Amino acid sequence: MKVTVNKVDDANIIVSGTIENSAVEENINKMAVQAGKEMKVDGFRKGKVPAHVVKKLHGDKLAQDAEGEVLRELIDAGMKEAGINPADMLGQPTFKKYDKTDSGIDVEVEISTRPVFEAEGHMDVLPAFERPTASDKEIQEKLDEIAAQQAPYTKIKRKRMVRDGDMVVIDFEGFVDGVAFDGGKAEKFSLKIGSGQFIPGFEEQIIGMKYDEEKTITVTFPKEYQSSDLAGKEAEFKVKLHEIQEQVPAELNDELAQKLLQGEENATLEMLTDRVRTQIESTEISKLYNEDLKPKLVEALVEKFDFALPNNIVEQEIDAKVNAKAREMSEEELNSYKDNPEKIEALREEVRADAVASVKATFIVDALAKKEEVSVDDQEVSQAIYYEAMMSGQDPQQVIKYYQENNLLPAVKMGMIEDKLFGKMLGLDK
């Protein structure tokens, strides 16, 4: 078998050759003989099925497998001639030609490999920035906010009318067409005015009520209300106000710090202040990193390093970006692309530059992470997903299962490695 290898660039080669019919037929015969030793066919002893019978029963499958075997031999020969280690091949080979002729099959296949480049000078492109610091005013405002959150509701010392933000203690009973409905009655119920806990319009009508005042409130249940018997209907609530409560901010002292910093031995207000300062600065640093530093650093690194990219990986990224755009299209837009290869190709070219930059950035991050000895293990990935799920009120186990079933864990891991690497480069890990 004659194999020709043409180097496209440092990451891609074209292997071409002709798979002769005789080579395919020879493989078919070998496979038929081997299959005959393992098959069981009526009229023949097991292991004694003649090759011509096997070919008659499974000719198409044998031909397909035989072609595949010879094709693998052609690709292996091309890689050997090009001096490519099989471990460096990325993805599946891409067929440029697969033409069947009377004498055989003319094959042309592109093989892509992992890029190799000198990962030097990456610290030269770091964007300049000033590390955010928390001002005394910001720290005090945050401490005051914490103190307010920790304050219990207490009965007001002097009687007055209800204000927005008050906690009220009320009795209420609801009626529709003069008939009380299930679940519409409660006594000594605590309701924060402005919380939006009740039907729209209810809490607003409590404002201005006085101690022991009784009032009839008229509201309309939303059309999408959970109970179909009440949805969209007008209701009257008889309400009696018992008590008004307000929050008195807790005093900022060591006692409050000890309450908030449980587990910290001998916690003080100074320790709480330092914790608040760190929290404010971390939030600002995270915002600065995601909105400014990270995009600038990625752009600078992509521009800094020049190397060939594996074409099949670039095409996969283009596919992903085109599919993402398709998901945002209306049905009318999608239909305009049907049976219109020119328009589809134009869309692919539209996203090509972004796809190239994205693939290039991935290989740069991978190389720099190895150079800087930055890594993330699977446990760190699971912990990060678990924490994010908890913070968003989702079931962590279900979220992790979703990531596993949709093969999203590698992307999460790569993103974490990228952030860890960039954080080290920018000195944000200190």
- Per-residue pLDDT tens for 58-69? 888 888 888 888
Dihedral, 157, 143, 169, 163 alpha carbons, nearest 10: 70
Which of 179, 177, 225, 176 has the alpha carbon at shortest distance from 200? 225
Tokens (6 digits) for 409: 């864990």
* pLDDT over 70 percentage in the chain: 100
* C-alpha separations of 282 from 146, 235, 413, 427, 430 in Å: 17, 49, 22, 13, 11
Tokens (6 digits) for 257: 């710090």
Q: What is the pLDDT of residue 329?
A: 92
Phi, psi (rounded to 5 degrees) for 153: -80, 130
Q: What is the pLDDT of residue 286?
A: 93
Q: For residue range 386-399, what is the model confidence (pLDDT) as tens digits? A: 888 887 778 888 99
183: left (phi over 0), alpha (psi -120 to 50) or beta: left
Q: What is the pLDDT of residue 80?
A: 92
Q: Are strands 179-192 and 214-220 parallel, antiparallel or unpaired?
A: unpaired
Residue 248 has pLDDT above 80, yes or no: no
Residue 233 has pLDDT above 80, yes or no: yes
Q: What is the pLDDT of residue 387?
A: 84
- Kind plus residue range of the DSSP H or E element containing 60: helix 51-82
Residue 334 has pLDDT above 80, yes or no: yes
Q: What is the pLDDT of residue 391?
A: 75
Which of 362, 350, 295 has the alpha carbon at shortest distance from 318? 350
Cβ-count burial 145-168 (b if 16+ within 10 Å, e if not): ebbeeeeebeebeeeeebeeebbb
Q: Would the pTM count as exceeding 0.85? A: no
Q: For residue range 302-327, what is the model confidence (pLDDT) as tens digits? A: 999 999 999 999 999 999 999 999 99
What single string gives the DSSP state of each residue in 353-421?
HHHHHHHHHHHHHHHHHHHTT----HHHHHHHHHHHHHHTT--HHHHHHHHHHTT-HHHHHHHHHHHHH
For residue 225, the one-letter residue type is Y
How many angstroms separate the CA atoms of 175 and 15, rounded?
Answer: 82
> For all residues of the chain together, what is the average pLDDT?
91
Residue 172 has pLDDT above 80, yes or no: yes
Cβ-count burial 325-342 (b if 16+ within 10 Å, e if not): eeeeeeeeeeeeeeeeee
Residue 276 has pLDDT above 90, yes or no: yes
DSSP state of 207: T
pLDDT confidence tier of residue 186, bands split at 50, 70 and 90:
very high
How many angstroms separate the CA atoms of 419 and 372, rounded?
Answer: 13
- Kind plus residue range of the DSSP H or E element containing 313: helix 311-327
Q: For residue range 131-140, what is the model confidence (pLDDT) as tens digits? A: 999 999 999 9
Tokens (6 digits) for 294: 């990270």
How many angstroms separate the CA atoms of 289 and 282, rounded?
Answer: 10
* C-alpha separations of 85 from 11, 81, 233 in Å: 12, 11, 74
Q: How far apart are the first and last CA of the chain?
A: 60
pLDDT confidence tier of residue 260, bands split at 50, 70 and 90:
confident
Cβ-count burial 221-233 (b if 16+ within 10 Å, e if not): beeeeeeeebeee
Q: What is the pLDDT of residue 339?
A: 85
Q: For residue range 85-105, what is the model confidence (pLDDT) as tens digits? A: 988 999 889 999 999 888 889
Place of tokens 């009120």: 393
